[in-house]
Structure 1
Amino acid sequence: MFRQDSQGEVPLFHEDENASSKSNIKHPLTCFFHLFFRTSAIIFYLFCEFLSLSFIANMVTIILLLSSDFWTVKEGSKSIVLSSESKIFWIGLIVCPVFWVFFMFSTLLAFNIKTLAVVIMGVVLQWANLYGYVRCKIGGGTKLKNMATNYFGLQLFKKVVNKPERP
């Protein structure tokens, strides 16, 4: 049960290419770097004030880590086809954006406007990555768009037909 797209085949949690009880990771380097860049960006954000006093250097480092993750996920997803690798892929893809959203709210509540730009970049890059893969998995959103169009068209038709006549 794979959906073929331009990025490669990426199964969801419950899908498995071979139903063996033994879980092997055939692409450990891809899995490692997928999680490495994501967690490194989060860890670097948490400790950036201790690591460097330069705000620009911290911002550039975090954006480079997130960009490297973006590229790694794009290239690495072509080879991730086993169930265990798929779980690592989707967990990393879903959990890390949640951290960046949490950082965004904590930055807003602390009125730390200086680091808000970094956090917004983290949110945008991580959610764009997640959105792209979810959209590829669902099928480009054409079914959802057609359903919404049909629903709103039907509602408009009902309003026109049921419109009471004016005396």
Structure 2
Amino acid sequence: MIRQDLSEDDVPMFDEDDADTKERRSKIKHPLASFFHLFFRVSAILVYLLCELLSSSFIACMVTIILLLSCDFWTVKNVTGRLLVGLRWWNQVDDDGKSHWVFESRKRGAGRKVPSSSESRIFWLGLTVCPIVWVFFVFSTIFSFKIKWLAVVIMGAVLQWANLYGYVRCKVGGGTNLKSMATSYFGRQFFKQAMATQEES
């Protein structure tokens, strides 16, 4: 026989548990993952910008930047995406040798962990801003005729955009393509607007 002792202090009053849930959602639950989500990508950008001041060796700078970009790609793809926003993606090769891309998102429901809004903001901000920075570096490298850096900045842009593309596909649904998603969105907006004008008349 299981005995439970409940007092008035144990029972949440009205929507006290909702407030507790909101408070938990706003805190950073994974500070180490949040730190490394930004650390490698910001470090790669800083090393690229300050490379000529830090070292006279092009090879040392290039290897350092590529290592930081590789660590960032692996960390974001395999660790921070799962922990911070509950998303993951990968490539799977079946028995016939065909490659399949898999995009998953954590199911929301009772008893499931709710991603923190702060962590989600950190994740998406880092994931969207850095690829734009690397594309800017590609164009600035081309226009300033620093051709020796072109391979490095293209690699930075490709790795950053690959993660962004994978996580956007996870977020919007791996089975849908962007054209059908846009059509569906605009169809829903048109339907809502038509229903609103009908209610007004």
| TM-score normalised according to structure 2 size | 0.60
- 1:96 corresponds to which of 108, 130, 141: 130
- 1:69 corresponds to which of 65, 68, 72: 72
1:17-61 deviation digits (Å, cap 9, x = unpaired): x43387211100000011010100000000111112221211111
Q: CA deviation at 1:104?
A: 0.9
Larger radius of gyration: 2
- 1:45 corresponds to which of 48, 51, 64: 48
Which structure would you say has the larger RCO, counting Cα contacts within 8 Å and 6 or more residues apart? Answer: 1
Matches within 5 A, 1:9-158: 18-20=21-23, 23-74=26-77, 75-80=79-84, 81-140=115-174, 142-144=176-178
Q: CA RMSD in A?
A: 2.0
Could you tell me how far apart the structure 2 residues matched to 1:143 and 1:127 are? 17
Could you tell me how far apart the structure 2 residues matched to 1:145 and 1:99 are? 26
Q: CA deviation at 1:70?
A: 1.1
Q: Which residue of structure 1 lines up, in the alignment, with residue 13 of structure 2?
A: none
Could you tell me how far apart the structure 1 residues matched to 2:157 and 2:25 are? 36
**Sequence identity, in percent?**
70
Which amino acid in the other structure matches residue 38 of structure 2?
L
Report if the CA contact (8 A) 2:138-2:154 is conserved: yes
Q: CA deviation at 1:139?
A: 1.0
Greater share of residues in strand: 2
1:114-150 deviation digits (Å, cap 9, x = unpaired): 11111101111111111111111111252436579xx
What secondary structure does 1:36 align onto? Answer: helix
Q: CA deviation at 1:112?
A: 1.1
Which amino acid in the other structure matches residue 121 of structure 2?
K
Could you tell me how far apart the structure 1 residues matched to 2:160 and 2:181 are? 27
| TM-score normalised according to structure 1 size | 0.72
Could you tell me how far apart the structure 2 residues matched to 1:78 and 1:141 are? 19
- Unaligned residue ranges in structure 2 (runs of 5+): 1-20, 85-114, 183-201
Could you tell me how far apart the structure 1 residues matched to 2:181 and 2:132 are? 28
